[in-house]
Every structure is written in structure tokens, then in C-alpha cells.
Amino acid sequence: MGEHKTKPDVEWLAWSKQRDSLKTRWVIVVVAFWVTGIIAVVMYLINKELDFILTSIAIGMMVLGVWLKSRYQIHISQEPEGKQIDNTKD
């Protein structure tokens, strides 16, 4: 009986850990995108020409951010039963 009770908790803890990991990675990529974008704009204003490398990095961060956000949303939709949380804050 005790084993049956701990299995859903272990499953939910693993799910929760992965959720937190995905969200952390997504936040890091979003911050990196904005920092790179701001640096690219400043460099454009100073040099009056677009820096291809910074622009490529910003576009790559945007694509990676969209991919991570979609993985995060899919993961949220697969939340284990019995431990529903309020996801409206995300």
C-alpha cells in the first residue's frame, strides 16, 4: 500500500524537476536573445552597418527560445494526475 502511494509522488517529482529545468533553460535563452539583440542594435548605431555574427546569434537564440517554449508547453500539458497546479502564472 505504501509503495503505491509513493510512486505517483516520485513520478510527479521527476515531472516537476524536468519542468523546472525546461523553464530555466528557456529563461536563459530569452535573456541571451535580448542581450544579443541590444548589443547588435548598439553596434549597428555605432558602425552604421549590421553585424552578421551578432544577428545570426540573435536569430539562433530566438529559434532556440521558441523550440524550448514549445517543449515546455507540451511538458506542462502532460502533468501527472493528482497533482494539478495552477499554470496560469507562466
Q: What integer pLDDT is reported at residue 83 of this predicted model?
A: 57
Burial 5-15 (b: 16+ CB within 10 A, else e): eeeeeeebeeb
Global pTM? Answer: 0.74
pLDDT digits (tens, 9 = 90+) for 46-86: 999 999 999 999 999 999 999 999 999 999 998 887 555 55
Could you tell me the CA-to-CA distances from 27 to 33, 44, 47 in Å, in that order? 10, 26, 30
The model's pLDDT over 23-51, given as tens digits with 9 standing for 90+, comes to: 999 999 999 999 999 999 999 999 999 99
Contact 25, 68 (CB under 8 A): yes
pLDDT band of 2, cuts 50, 70, 90: very low
